[in-house]
């Protein structure tokens, strides 16, 4: 019999106040390393220094995050190390560590400081090189550790960006199905199932529940499941469709108007439903979700684009990557 072999986390831990127990969590999972290197941003370390000091690190590397040049500098510093890397921070820090760990073939763990996107567990890293965002295939993390007390200090907009990134899985699955039907592209049904289930896990929440344990855990689990979906798919296909292409096009060609990826992708998703897929019933349900969870307010505050601007962005979105989506039907 034949099976697919996929990498899954050795452990996932979430709880209140567990940032100070990273060493204990590794030991409980029977994971022992000669060295542990913490990679984070200096200002973030200063905020959580008291909690982090309860763990033993052989080295602490402060980074800005998100830049390929900086990642290559850290690779040079750690090339002969056998340490496990512990990435503590937002998406830019996690992506940097994912790239570094993959290039030096070291294990790593992600310890997110917020839940703004699915970088916490995915096989893709987005880094900036020569002022342009590039995507790199990376190994997923050995484990993911989430301290709810840390996440609850996140700005509201970052949590909503995470919700926006997660809900757009529904758009990505539609695009993959379309590519399968119209362009004979192979499709992984299990990856699609996981992607859709991850998205709908947050569908019934309200803005008042954004910082509740239940919502944050469902958002966390949904983002991890999205990462697993992409790992099974062998690409970001199951969680990145036309809406992500529009967001990446804004970053690439209109950087002065760019904002958080999850917010941009959520805006694009709704406009694509209305203008291109022309699914008025689902668009109304999606709008109701945005209103109820608070995404509509953030989109209005942070997105400078109007509905009619989508048509201007479509040609740029098509240039981002060779991926068949509903934009190809325009």
123 plus 249 within the same structural domain: no
Listed in sequence order, the residues at least 6 apart from 239 whose beta carbon sits closer than 8 Å to its beta carbon are 118, 168, 169, 172, 195, 226, 229, 230
User: Of 151, 173, 203, which closes a domain?
Assistant: 151
The verdict on residue 4 lying in a domain is no
- What integer is the mean pLDDT of 12-30? 93
Residue 4 has pLDDT above 90, yes or no: no
Residue 309's domain comprises 157-232+240-329
Q: Has residue 318 got a pLDDT over 80?
A: yes
Q: Is the pLDDT of residue 226 over 70?
A: yes
Could you give the CA distance from residue 196 to residue 200 in angstroms, rounded to a whole number? 6
* Mean pLDDT across the chain: 94
Mean pLDDT of 205-211: 97
Q: What mean pLDDT is predicted for residues 5-22?
A: 90
More confident residue, 124 or 189: 189
CATH classification at residue 114: 3.40.50.1970
Among residues 151, 171, 199, the one where a domain terminates is 151
Q: Confirm whether 6 is domain-assigned.
A: no
CB 272 within 8 A of CB 265: no
Handedness of CA 69, 71, 72, 78 (dihedral sign): positive
Report the C-alpha gap between 205 and 209 in whole angstroms: 6
Model confidence at 8, pLDDT cuts 50, 70, 90, reads confident
Domain limit, last residue, from 151, 183, 201 = 151
Domains held by the chain: number: 2
56, 205: one domain: no
Q: In this structure, are 169 and 316 located in the same domain?
A: yes
Whether 27 is covered by a domain: the verdict is yes
Confidence of residue 124 (pLDDT cuts 50, 70, 90): confident
> 236: buried, middle or exposed (CB in 10 Å: 19+, 13-18, 0-12)?
buried
Residue 3 within any structural domain of the chain: no
Q: Are residues 224 and 250 located together in one domain of the fold?
A: yes
Together in a domain, 140 and 161: no
Segment 178-194 mean pLDDT: 96
> What does residue 235 show for φ and ψ, rounded to 5 degrees?
-165, 180
Rounded average pLDDT over 280-301: 98
Q: Are residues 214 and 139 in the same domain?
A: no
Q: Is residue 1 part of a domain?
A: no
**Do 194 and 324 belong to one domain?**
yes
Residue 206 covered by a domain: yes
7 has pLDDT over 80: no
Nearest to 262 by CA among 153, 159, 124, 132: 159
Can you tell me whether residue 18 is helix, strand or coil? coil
Shared domain check, 98 and 226: no
> pLDDT grade, residue 2 (50/70/90)?
low
- What band does 131 get if pLDDT is binned at 50, 70 and 90? confident
pLDDT at 183: 92
Let me know how long the chain is.
Answer: 330
- What is the mean pLDDT of the segment spanning 51-60? 94
* Between residues 191 and 80, the one the model is more confident about: 191
Lowest mean pLDDT among 5-9, 61-65, 128-132, 180-184: 5-9
Q: Could you tell me what percent of the chain has a pLDDT over 70?
A: 99
The answer on pLDDT for 1 being more than 70 is: no
66 pLDDT higher than 90: no
The 10s digit of each residue's pLDDT in 80-92 is: 899 999 999 999 9
Residue 306, domain CATH? 1.20.1090.10
Same domain for 109 and 174, yes or no, is: no
What is the pLDDT at residue 3?
72
Same domain, 164 and 213: yes
- Residue 76's pLDDT is 95
């Amino acid at each position: 019999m034949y099976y697919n072999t996929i990498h899954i986390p050795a452990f996932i831990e979430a709880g209140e106040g567990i940032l100070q127990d990273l060493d204990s969590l590794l030991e409980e999972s029977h994971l022992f390393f000669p060295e542990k290197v913490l990679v984070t941003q200096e200002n973030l370390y200063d905020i959580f220094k008291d909690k982090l000091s309860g763990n033993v690190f052989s080295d602490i590397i402060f980074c800005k995050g998100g830049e390929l040049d900086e990642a290559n500098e850290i690779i040079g510093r750690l090339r002969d190390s056998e340490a496990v890397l512990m990435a503590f921070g937002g998406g830019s820090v996690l992506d940097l560590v994912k790239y570094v760990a993959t290039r030096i073939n070291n294990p790593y763990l992600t310890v997110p400081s917020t839940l703004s996107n699915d970088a916490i567990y995915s096989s893709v890293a987005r880094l900036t090189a020569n002022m342009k965002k590039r995507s790199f295939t990376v190994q997923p993390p050995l484990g993911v550790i989430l301290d709810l007390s840390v996440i609850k200090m996140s700005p509201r907009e970052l949590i909503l960006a995470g919700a926006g990134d997660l809900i757009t899985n529904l758009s990505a699955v539609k695009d993959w199905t379309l590519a399968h039907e119209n362009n004979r592209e192979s499709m992984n049904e299990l990856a699609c199932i996981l992607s859709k289930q991850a998205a709908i896990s947050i569908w019934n929440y309200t803005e008042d529940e954004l910082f509740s344990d239940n919502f944050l855990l469902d958002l966390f689990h949904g983002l991890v499941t999205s990462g697993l979906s992409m790992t099974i798919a062998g690409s970001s296909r199951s969680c990145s469709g036309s809406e992500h292409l529009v967001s990446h096009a804004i970053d690439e060609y209109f950087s002065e108007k760019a904002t958080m990826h999850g917010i941009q992708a959520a805006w694009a998703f709704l406009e694509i439903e209305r203008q291109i897929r022309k699914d008025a019933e689902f668009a109304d349900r999606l709008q109701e979700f945005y209103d109820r969870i608070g995404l509509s307010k953030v989109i209005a505050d942070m997105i400078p684009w109007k509905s009619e601007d989508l048509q201007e962005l479509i040609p740029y979105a098509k240039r981002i990557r060779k991926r068949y989506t509903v934009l190809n039907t325009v």
